[in-house]
Amino acid sequence: MTAVAAYDPLATAGAWRRSRAKIGVYVVLGIFAAWYLLPLFVVILNSFRDLPEIAENGLIALPRSFSFSAWGEAWSSFCVGGTCEGMQRNFYNSLMMTIPATIISTAFGAVNGYILSKWRFRGSEWLFGAMTLGVFMPGQIALMPWAFILGNLGLTNTISGLVLIHVVQGISFTTLFCRNYYLSIPDDLIKAARIDGAGFWRIFRRIILPLSPPILIVTVIWQFTGIWNEFLYAVVFSSGRGQPITAALIALSTNGTNVRTYDVMSAAVLIGALPPLLIYFFGGRYFIRGLTQGAIK
């Protein structure tokens, strides 16, 4: 840490140039921050503004009116695709899909990672490599096969069908994350436990699980945001009242018949963005760790 603090790239120039450069740094960072935050501000402010005011002053303006009515309407009474129940149904659908799929895929990933790092057998490295191929599969390849399987299982248009899809596709990721993390647990720890007579599950419960919270948090956050935000399968394998929120939002915004009700749509969009945003703001550290791990592999 001290090494980092000792290094100041701008220290190579004179005092005046240095402070001028520093101001320049903040100005550029500020401009980019404005670009990044613009959509967030727009959508938050417009969810509290009145529609006539938005129509008059445009989307990017400071609010002159204030009301919560758009939120109520977006949540429970706005009409999407023939039904007028607002987003609440789709929000529940997303929760009912995301929570089980996250828990199940993470549980499988933890056990798989434990086996592939601590109970290796002939060919297990090769099997692991093949499993990680699932990470790269484009969704389009799996569309027809999933349609066939869901049809045969009677799961077409059900949340359970989507849970199945996300569990199977998620296992590659969760196994990869957990296996790479468990490699850092010393094998001697496991050996000692085995000499003491501990079995497969006992070692998992008593040694591996207590050391797992960091990677389990990363995995849960990664799976939750990924599944919540997923769109292709949501729109292909669900319809109407059964749609997760991402699919419903697209149905809402391409609803060309009525005048754009930006106030209600802003609230609806925020409802759809809220769970991942909350996770990001409260677990950002873990989110970024998952992102870099998922990317570099």
Partner 1 sequence: MSETIPMAPPAPQRKGRLRDRAATWLPIAVLGPSLFATFVYVFVFTGWTLYISLSNSSLLPSYEFVGFEHYASLWENRRWNVAYTNLFIFSVLYVIGTMVVGLLLAILIDQRVRAESVWRTIYLYPLAVSFVVTGTVWSWLYSPTSGIEFLVRGLGFESFTFAWTTSRELALYAIVLTGVWQASGFAMALFLAGLRSVDQDLIKAAQIDGASMFRIYRRIMIPAIGPIFIAVLVVLLQFAIKTFDLAIALTGGGPGIATTFPAIYVYDLMFQRGQIAEGAAAAIMILLALAVVLVPYSLWRVWRRRFELQI
Residue 159 or 204: which CB sits closer to partner 1? Answer: 204
List the interface residues with partner 1, window 73-132 (CB under 8 A). 108, 111-112, 115-116, 118-121, 127, 130-131
286: contact with partner 1 by CB under 8 A: no
Does residue 255 contact residue 265 with C-beta atoms inside 8 Å? no
List the interface residues with partner 1, window 19-78 (CB under 8 A). 21-22, 25-26, 28-29, 32-33, 35-40, 42-43, 54-55, 58-61
Residue 15 or 296: which CB sits closer to partner 1? Answer: 296
209: contact with partner 1 by CB under 8 A: no
Sign of the C-alpha dihedral computed for residues 235, 74, 271 and 37 taken in this order = positive
Burial grade of 194 (CB within 10 A; 0-12, 13-18, 19 or more): middle
Choose among 217, 202, 236, 247: nearest CA to 89: 247
Rounded distance between C-alpha atoms, residue 72 and residue 44, angstroms:
15
List the interface residues with partner 1, window 147-176 (CB under 8 A). 148, 167-169, 171-172, 175
How far is residue 17 from each of residues 12, 21, 27, 60, 91, measured CA to CA in Å? 10, 6, 15, 37, 53
282: contact with partner 1 by CB under 8 A: no
Residue 77 or 191: which CB sits closer to partner 1? Answer: 191
List the interface residues with partner 1, window 214-243 (CB under 8 A). 225, 228-232, 236
145: contact with partner 1 by CB under 8 A: yes
